[in-house]
Structure 1
Amino acid sequence: MVYEIQEKDYVRLLELMEKYHDQPMDFADATLILMAEKTGNRQILTLDSDFLFYRIGNQETFDVIRVE
C-alpha cells in the first residue's frame, strides 16, 4: 500500500512528533502513524518497540507483527 503525504498532512505530522517528543519520534515513524490514521490499517511489521506505545488517532494501538 502506498500513501502519498500531502502538504495538508504536515500539521498532523508535527503534532505527532511533539506528542511523542520523549521517545523521540522521527519523521518516518510519524508518517506511518499518519498512514494508519488515514487508511485504518493497524498492522505493522517492525523491530522498533516504540510502535507498542504509539497510538493511532490517539486511541487505537498498532497490531505489531512479530518476527521470530
Structure 2
Amino acid sequence: MKSDAKALEYAISEITEIAEGFGLDFYPMRYEICPAEIIYTFGAYGMPTRFSHWSFGKQFFKMKLQYDLEA
C-alpha cells in the first residue's frame, strides 16, 4: 500500500505540473484513498443531490460484480 501511495503522489505531481504548463489555474485538489465500496456507491447513486431510485442499487451491484470478477 505504501508503494501505491508513493506512485499516486508522483502521478498527482506530474499531472499538476502538466496542467500548470498548459496555463490551467485551479484550486488545490484533495485526494482520498477509499475502499471500492465507496466508489461503487458514487458510481451507482451519483452525487448526493440526486433523488433515490431503485435502479441505482441495481447499478451498484452490477459495478461491484464486474470489479470483483476482474480482480
* TM-score normalized with structure 2 length: 0.30
Larger radius of gyration: 2
Whichever structure has more strand as a proportion of its residues is 1
Whichever structure has more helix as a proportion of its residues is 2
* TM-score normalized with structure 1 length: 0.30
